[in-house]
C-alpha cells in the first residue's frame, strides 16, 4: 500500500457513489414515456350504451355514488406519453368546442380549482363516459376506454394535478395565452355544486 | 402494388431535370476520381530503381520543379472549373424546376399526418372538391400543383420518379409542381423521420390518361355507396353509432371526422394504413381489430367488436367502392 493510493481511496468511493446516484436518476426516467401498443384486455364492464344515461349521479355528488365503469385499467398520469395523447384527443374530439383550451366557454373551465362532478380520475372518467346535465354529452361507447383515461390524465394536467415532468410542455398548434400544462401551479381541488339551471 | 420508386427512371420533366443533374455530377466527379486514383496507382507501382546506398534526392531544395508545378496548377484549375460547371448546372436545374408551365394545372392540397397522407382535390366549385388518402390519381401530361402542409411534425413528400423531396413543415405551406408524362404507378414515401411509423407512411401516385382520370374523379365526387343488403346496412349503423365516426369521414353520412383518413371510397384504394396492408377483407378486419399489431403507435385504437358485428362492418367498408 502506497500513500498516494490511500489518499485516492475516498475519492474513488465518491466516484462510485456518484455513478450509482446518476444511474438511479437516469433509470427512474425510463418509464416516463412508456408506450403500451398491445391491445388492452377486454374492458371488465361494458361501456354504457350510446345516448343513454346509465347513472343516477347528481350534480355535486361525491365519489361514493359512482358506478363500476370507473376501473382504471390503463390509467397512468405519471406517463408523459399518455398525457400528451390526451392533449391530442382533447383537440381531435373537439372538447375545446365548449371548454375552449381549458379556460371554459359554453362549458365550465377545466384549468381552475373548482370541480362540479369531482376531480379524481375515476370521477372525471365517469363524467366523460356518462355525460352530465346541461350539455356535457356522453362519450361512452364512442371513445375506447384507454383513450378516455388519456383524456382524464390531460384534463387533470390542466390544473396541475399530474406530476410536472409528465404534463405537456408545448402544443402542436400555435399556443394561446396560457402557459403550458407543465408550468401550471398545482391547484387544490374544491368540489362545488353547479349553479342552478337558468 | 408494384410501383416505380426510382429517381433514375424519371417519368416526368421535373424528375428528368434532376436525373440529368445527377448523371452530370456522376460524370464530373467520377472523372476527377479517376484522374486522382490512376496516377496514384501508377506512381505506387513504378519501381524506384534506387538502392539503400543511393543518396537522397534533395535537388528540389536548390532547383525548382517546373513540371510538377505546371501539373498542380493545371489540376487545381481543372477542379475549380469542374466545380463551377456543377454550380452552373445546379442553378440551371433549379430554374428549370421552377419554370414548369402551369397553365391549366390541377390544384391539390396534401396534408401530412402521423402517419398518413390526406389528399384533397380542390376546385373553384366546392361541390366538385373531394378528399382521399394515401393514393392520388393524376392525369398524364397535365401539370399538377400541390400545396403541402403538415398537421403535427415535419414530414417530406417524395415521389422519386416524378420529383425530388419537399418538406412539409407545420405552420407553413409549401408548393410542389410536377407532371407525369408516362402513365404508370409511382410510389411515394415520407422522407423526413417523423416518428416510430415513419417507414409505414407511403403513398402511390397513379398517372393515367386524362379521360380515365376524369372518370375516377367523377366517381370520387359521389357520396359513399348506400348499403346494398341488410348486413351492409348493419355495418353502417355500427360505423355511425360507434367510435369510427368520431375520426373518419364518409361523405353522405353523418360521419364527418377529419382527423383520420377519408373512407368515402376506401374500397377503391389498393392499400390500408398508408401502404402497411393490402386492402382486402381479411386484412381490413385484422386492422380494425388491432391496428397496433401492424403499426405500433398509430393513432387508431384497437376495438373490441363482436364477430357478427365485425363481419357487417367489414362488409359495409368493403362495399365503399
Mean per-residue pLDDT, A57-81: 59
DSSP B92: H
pLDDT score for B64: 80
pLDDT score for A184: 85
- Is there a contact between B149 and B168 (Cβ–Cβ < 8 Å)? yes
Minimum CA–CA partner of A139 in chain B: B243
Answer whether A174 sits within 8 Å of B301, measured CB to CB.
no
- Is there a contact between B297 and B307 (Cβ–Cβ < 8 Å)? no
Answer whether A92 sits within 8 Å of B242, measured CB to CB.
no
Answer whether B241 sits within 8 Å of A93, measured CB to CB.
no
At residue B107, φ and ψ (nearest 5 deg) are -95, 130
- Is there a contact between A130 and A57 (Cβ–Cβ < 8 Å)? yes
Nearest to A92 among B247, B289, B302 (CB): B247
Q: What is the per-residue burial (b if ≥16 Cβ within 10 Å, else e) of B197-227? A: bbebbbbbbbbbeeeebeebbeebbeebbeb
Q: Is residue B249 very low, low, confident or very high in pLDDT (cuts 50, 70, 90)? A: very high
Nearest to A144 among B151, B170, B243 (CB): B243
Model pLDDT for residues B130-171, shown as the tens digit of each residue: 999 999 999 999 999 999 999 989 999 999 999 999 999 998
Cell digits of residue B238: 355500427
Candidates B153, B237, B259, B298: best to mutate against A (most CBs of A within 10 A) is B259
- Tell me which of A134 and B230 has the higher pLDDT: B230
β-strands B116-121, B106-113: how paired?
antiparallel
Answer whether A147 sits within 8 Å of B301, measured CB to CB.
yes
How far apart, in whole angstroms, are the C-alpha atoms of residue A148 and residue A132?
A: 15
pLDDT score for B210: 96
Nearest to B303 among A88, A93, A144 (CB): A144
Greatest alpha-carbon pair distance for chain A in Å reads 88
pLDDT score for A37: 79
Q: Is residue B281 very low, low, confident or very high in pLDDT (cuts 50, 70, 90)? A: very high
In this predicted structure, the answer to whether residue A21 has a pLDDT above a threshold of 80 is yes
What region does B221 belong to: left with phi over 0, alpha with psi -120 to 50, or beta?
alpha
- Sign of the C-alpha dihedral, residues B165, B169, B171, B172? negative
Which residues on B lie below 8 Å from A37 (Cβ)? Answer: 292, 296-297
In this predicted structure, the answer to whether residue B246 has a pLDDT above a threshold of 80 is yes
- Tell me which of A52 and B282 has the higher pLDDT: B282
CA distances (Å), origin B269, targets B17, B169, B204, B253: 31, 27, 10, 20
- Is there a contact between A158 and A184 (Cβ–Cβ < 8 Å)? yes
Which residues on B lie below 8 Å from A40 (Cβ)? Answer: 302
Answer whether B299 sits within 8 Å of A88, measured CB to CB.
yes
Residue A147 to chain B, least CA–CA distance (Å) = 8
Residue A86 to chain B, least CA–CA distance (Å) = 11
B271 forms bridges with which residues in the sheet? B278
Residue with cell 407512411: B201
pLDDT score for A198: 59
pLDDT score for A142: 82
Answer whether A37 sits within 8 Å of B247, measured CB to CB.
no
Answer whether A42 sits within 8 Å of B304, measured CB to CB.
yes
Mean per-residue pLDDT, A43-66: 44
What region does A127 belong to: left with phi over 0, alpha with psi -120 to 50, or beta?
alpha
Residue A136 to chain B, least CA–CA distance (Å) = 16
- Tell me which of A143 and B121 has the higher pLDDT: B121
Answer whether B292 sits within 8 Å of A38, measured CB to CB.
yes
- Tell me which of B203 and A189 has the higher pLDDT: B203
Residues of chain B within CATH 2.60.40.420 domain(s) are 106-220, 230-318
pTM of the complete model: 0.82
How far apart, in whole angstroms, are the C-alpha atoms of residue B303 and residue B282?
A: 16
Q: Is residue B46 very low, low, confident or very high in pLDDT (cuts 50, 70, 90)? A: confident
What mean pLDDT value characterizes chain A? 77
pLDDT score for A49: 40
Q: Could you tell me the end-to-end alpha-carbon distance of chain A, in angstroms, rounded to an integer?
A: 88
Which residues on A lie below 8 Å from B296 (Cβ)? Answer: 35, 37
Minimum CA–CA partner of A91 in chain B: B259
Which residues on A lie below 8 Å from B293 (Cβ)? Answer: 39
- Tell me which of A2 and B316 has the higher pLDDT: B316
How far apart, in whole angstroms, are the C-alpha atoms of residue A119 and residue A190?
A: 8
Identify the CATH class of B106-220.
mainly beta
In this predicted structure, the answer to whether residue A1 has a pLDDT above a threshold of 50 is no
Q: Is residue B128 very low, low, confident or very high in pLDDT (cuts 50, 70, 90)? A: very high
How far apart, in whole angstroms, are the C-alpha atoms of residue B276 and residue B200?
A: 6
Size of interface A-B (CB pairs under 8 A): 39
Q: Nearest CA to B130 among B141, B118, B116?
A: B118
Residue A94 to chain B, least CA–CA distance (Å) = 10
Model pLDDT for residues B187-228, shown as the tens digit of each residue: 999 999 999 999 999 999 999 999 999 999 999 999 999 999
How far apart, in whole angstroms, are the C-alpha atoms of residue B317 and residue B271?
A: 13
Model pLDDT for residues B63-80, shown as the tens digit of each residue: 888 888 999 999 999 999
Q: Nearest CA to A150 among A160, A162, A141, A159?
A: A162
Q: Dihedral, CA atoms, B233, B235, B240, B241, nearest 10 degrees?
A: 110
How far apart, in whole angstroms, are the C-alpha atoms of residue A117 and residue A63?
A: 9
Model pLDDT for residues B84-109, shown as the tens digit of each residue: 999 999 999 999 999 999 999 999 99
Q: What is the per-residue burial (b if ≥16 Cβ within 10 Å, else e) of B80-102? A: eebeeeeeebeeebeebbeebee
In this predicted structure, the answer to whether residue A102 has a pLDDT above a threshold of 60 is yes
In this predicted structure, the answer to whether residue A5 has a pLDDT above a threshold of 70 is no
Model pLDDT for residues A63-73, shown as the tens digit of each residue: 444 444 445 56
Nearest to B259 among A40, A42, A92 (CB): A92
Which residues on B lie below 8 Å from A43 (Cβ)? Answer: 304
Residue with cell 362540479: A116
pLDDT score for B48: 74
Candidates 1.20.1050.10, 3.40.50.300, 2.30.30.40, 2.60.40.420; CATH matching B230-318: 2.60.40.420
What mean pLDDT value characterizes chain B? 93
B144 forms bridges with which residues in the sheet? B106, B178
Answer whether A172 sits within 8 Å of B170, measured CB to CB.
yes
Model pLDDT for residues A36-47, shown as the tens digit of each residue: 777 766 654 444
Mean per-residue pLDDT, B123-128: 93
Model pLDDT for residues A129-176, shown as the tens digit of each residue: 888 888 898 888 788 888 899 999 999 999 999 988 888 888 776 666
β-strands B135-139, B130-133: how paired?
unpaired
Answer whether A50 sits within 8 Å of B259, measured CB to CB.
no
Residue A49 to chain B, least CA–CA distance (Å) = 10
- Is there a contact between A163 and A115 (Cβ–Cβ < 8 Å)? no
In this predicted structure, the answer to whether residue B173 has a pLDDT above a threshold of 80 is yes
pLDDT score for B312: 94
pLDDT score for B57: 79
Which residues on B lie below 8 Å from A88 (Cβ)? Answer: 299
Q: Could you tell me the end-to-end alpha-carbon distance of chain B, in angstroms, rounded to an integer?
A: 18
- Which H helix or E strand runs over A147? helix A145-158
Close Cβ partners of A153 (under 8 Å, ≥ 6 residues apart): A75, A76, A77, A79, A82, A83, A86, A121, A162, A166
Candidates B243, B244, B295: best to mutate against A (most CBs of A within 10 A) is B243
- Is there a contact between A145 and A45 (Cβ–Cβ < 8 Å)? no
Amino acid at each position: 500500500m502506497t500513500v498516494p493510493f490511500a489518499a485516492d481511496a475516498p475519492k474513488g468511493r465518491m466516484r462510485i457513489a456518484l455513478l450509482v446516484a446518476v444511474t438511479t436518476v437516469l433509470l427512474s426516467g425510463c418509464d416516463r414515456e412508456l408506450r403500451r401498443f398491445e391491445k388492452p384486455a377486454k374492458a371488465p364492464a361494458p361501456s354504457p350504451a350510446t345516448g343513454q344515461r346509465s347513472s343516477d349521479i347528481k350534480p355535486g355528488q361525491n365519489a361514493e355514488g359512482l358506478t363500476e365503469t370507473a376501473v382504471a385499467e390503463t390509467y397512468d398520469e405519471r406517463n408523459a406519453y399518455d398525457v400528451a395523447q390526451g392533449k391530442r384527443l382533447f383537440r381531435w374530439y373537439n372538447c375545446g368546442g365548449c371548454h375552449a383550451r381549458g379556460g371554459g366557454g359554453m362549458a365550465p373551465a377545466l384549468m381552475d380549482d373548482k370541480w362540479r362532478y369531482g376531480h379524481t380520475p375515476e370521477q372525471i372518467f365517469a363524467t366523460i363516459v356518462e355525460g352530465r346535465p346541461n350539455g356535457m354529452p356522453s362519450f361512452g361507447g364512442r371513445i375506447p376506454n384507454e383513450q378516455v383515461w388519456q383524456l382524464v390524465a390531460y384534463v387533470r394536467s390542466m390544473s396541475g394535478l399530474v406530476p410536472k415532468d409528465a404534463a405537456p410542455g408545448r402544443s402542436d398548434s400555435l399556443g394561446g395565452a396560457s402557459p403550458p400544462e407543465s408550468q401550471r401551479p398545482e391547484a387544490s381541488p374544491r368540489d362545488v355544486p353547479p349553479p342552478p339551471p337558468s | 402494388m408494384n410501383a416505380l420508386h426510382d429517381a433514375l427512371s424519371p417519368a416526368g420533366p421535373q424528375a428528368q431535370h434532376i436525373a440529368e443533374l445527377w448523371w452530370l455530377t456522376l460524370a464530373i466527379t467520377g472523372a476527377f476520381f479517376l484522374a486522382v486514383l490512376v496516377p496514384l496507382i501508377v506512381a505506387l507501382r513504378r519501381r524506384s530503381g534506387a538502392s539503400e546506398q543511393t543518396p537522397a534526392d534533395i535537388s528540389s531544395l536548390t532547383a525548382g520543379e517546373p513540371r510538377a508545378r505546371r501539373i498542380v496548377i493545371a489540376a487545381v484549375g481543372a477542379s475549380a472549373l469542374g466545380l463551377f460547371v456543377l454550380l452552373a448546372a445546379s442553378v440551371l436545374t433549379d430554374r428549370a424546376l421552377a419554370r414548369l408551365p402551369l397553365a391549366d394545372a390541377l390544384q391539390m392540397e396534401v396534408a401530412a399526418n402521423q402517419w398518413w397522407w390526406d389528399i384533397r382535390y380542390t376546385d373553384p366549385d366546392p361541390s366538385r372538391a373531394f378528399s382521399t388518402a394515401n393514393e392520388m390519381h393524376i392525369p398524364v401530361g397535365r401539370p399538377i400543383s400541390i400545396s403541402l402542409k403538415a398537421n403535427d411534425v415535419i414530414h417530406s413528400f417524395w415521389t422519386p420518379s416524378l420529383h425530388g423531396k419537399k418538406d412539409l413543415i407545420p405552420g407553413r405551406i409549401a408548393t410542389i409542381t410536377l407532371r407525369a408524362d408516362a402513365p404508370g404507378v409511382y410510389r411515394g414515401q415520407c422522407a423526413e423521420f417523423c416518428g416510430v411509423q415513419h417507414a409505414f407512411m407511403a403513398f402511390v401516385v397513379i398517372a393515367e390518361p386524362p379521360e380515365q382520370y376524369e372518370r375516377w374523379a367523377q366517381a370520387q365526387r359521389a357520396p359513399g355507396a348506400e348499403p346494398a343488403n341488410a348486413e351492409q346496412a348493419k355495418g353502417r349503423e355500427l360505423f355511425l353509432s360507434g367510435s369510427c365516426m368520431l375520426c373518419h369521414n364518409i361523405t353522405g353520412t353523418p360521419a364527418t371526422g377529419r382527423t383520420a383518413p377519408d373512407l368515402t371510397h376506401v374500397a377503391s384504394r389498393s392499400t390500408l394504413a398508408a401502404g402497411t396492408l393490402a386492402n382486402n377483407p381479411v386484412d381490413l378486419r385484422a386492422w380494425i381489430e388491432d391496428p397496433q399489431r401492424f403499426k405500433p403507435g398509430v393513432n387508431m385504437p384497437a376495438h373490441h367488436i363482436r364477430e357478427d358485428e365485425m363481419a357487417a362492418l367489414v362488409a359495409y367498408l368493403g362495399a365503399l367502392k
